[in-house]
Amino acid sequence: MTQASITIKLPPLDAERLRRYFADNGFEMRDAPYAFWQARGVGCIATFYTSGKLLLQGAEAETWRAMLGEEVTAEARPFHAALAKHPKPPPPAWIGTDEAGKGDYFGPLVVAGVRLERAAVEILATLGVADSKTLTDARMGEMVTAIEACADTEVLVIGPAKYNELYAKMGNLNRMLAWAHGKVIENLLERGPAPYVVVDKFADEQVVHRGLGEKGRAARVDLRTKAEDDPAVAAASVLARAAYVRGVRALSRRFGVELWAGAGPPALKAGRELVRVHGPDVLREAGKLHFVTTGQITGGA
């Protein structure tokens, strides 16, 4: 791995605050010539010189620059708060999962996961990876290949027909989501270790943990609302939404009717046209039957 060397100019008054930050994250504090202090950690040595220069050196230097967030560099701000919530010392790799399509009548349910190493955090920040709700479909499509190149990824796409079959068996969307998140997490853990998992919260802890496999139950799993501020979850969010959009477009081509996300007026209009052309049974192949939208489409409401 490349041994990076990063220099950041800071006010000397920041020396004590940053000394506490590195000490709290498991770094060994030492004296060094012409410096307030030197902090030695796994993969990174940080030296704060009396001139106000913070020097980060080592294979993990870029990761620690990102983790310092707005205290040091504006480029790292998006992920600073989330990374601060990680266990101490920070795990070298972790998993984030998110889903797309659960509130959309047409198209698949998608659950995606990303196993991210800390050295890749800076890459995701540079790419502009963020919660998929803040990005355009075109921008997310451009990001997918880059995310796949810098992290282990897993995307589970449950098409409408399979979704309706599973819902009939499970009778509950959260149970289905727990199963899908658990499967994605387990598959990622088969590829490499990750002692920490962040899940964008969709149900209570008991429901989610029942869906985990053996490896997932051995990890620390944190459920968080608005977890897309975490870089791994943000990347998973992008992968999930991009896969959902591809799924809706594929169904639109298959049935010759432009289908829409959501469950509002555009989806109702498209659904009625779909039924007019193909008959009501087509909804089993294109939509999520347990939604009230089904009755609104077939009843003409």
Tens of pLDDT along the chain (301 residues) come to 456 788 888 878 788 889 989 999 999 999 999 999 999 998 999 999 988 889 999 988 878 877 776 555 444 345 777 888 899 888 999 999 999 999 999 999 999 999 999 888 877 877 778 666 767 788 788 889 999 999 999 999 999 999 999 999 999 999 999 999 999 999 999 999 999 999 999 999 999 999 999 999 999 999 999 888 899 999 999 999 999 999 999 999 999 999 999 999 999 999 999 999 999 999 999 999 999 999 999 985 4
- Where in the chain do CATH 3.30.420.10 domains reside? 93-248
- Where in the chain do CATH 3.30.310.10 domains reside? 4-79
State the DSSP H helix or E strand holding residue 57, giving kind and residue range, or none if neither. Answer: strand 53-58
Could you say which DSSP state residue 115 is in?
A: E
Contact between residue 25 and residue 41 where contact means Cβ atoms under 8 Å apart: yes
Spatial neighbors of 245 by CB under 8 A, at least 6 apart, are 137, 140, 141, 261
Q: What pLDDT sits at residue 76?
A: 38
d(CA 43, CA 254): 51
Find the angle CA(222)-CA(228)-CA(230) to the nearest 5 degrees: 65
Q: In this structure, how many other beta carbons lie within 10 angstroms of the beta carbon of residue 136?
A: 9
Q: What pLDDT sits at residue 67?
A: 76
Give pTM, 2 decimals: 0.75
> What sign has the CA pseudo-torsion 6, 11, 15, 19?
negative
> Which residue's entry shows tokens 């496999």?
213
Could you say which DSSP state residue 279 is in?
A: -
Q: What pLDDT sits at residue 120?
A: 86
Structure-block tokens of residue 41:
């950690």
Contact between residue 281 and residue 271 where contact means Cβ atoms under 8 Å apart: no
Task: Specify the CATH superfamily of domain 4-79.
Answer: TATA-Binding Protein (3.30.310.10)
Q: In angstroms, how far is CA 94 from the centroid of its own chain?
A: 11
d(CA 103, CA 81): 28
Q: How many CA atoms lie within 13 A of 59 on its CB side?
A: 7
In CATH, what is the architecture of 93-248?
A: 2-Layer Sandwich (3.30)
> What sign has the CA pseudo-torsion 290, 293, 297, 301?
positive
Contact between residue 44 and residue 57 where contact means Cβ atoms under 8 Å apart: yes
Structure-block tokens of residue 140:
């997310």
d(CA 172, CA 281): 22
> What sign has the CA pseudo-torsion 129, 80, 94, 3?
positive
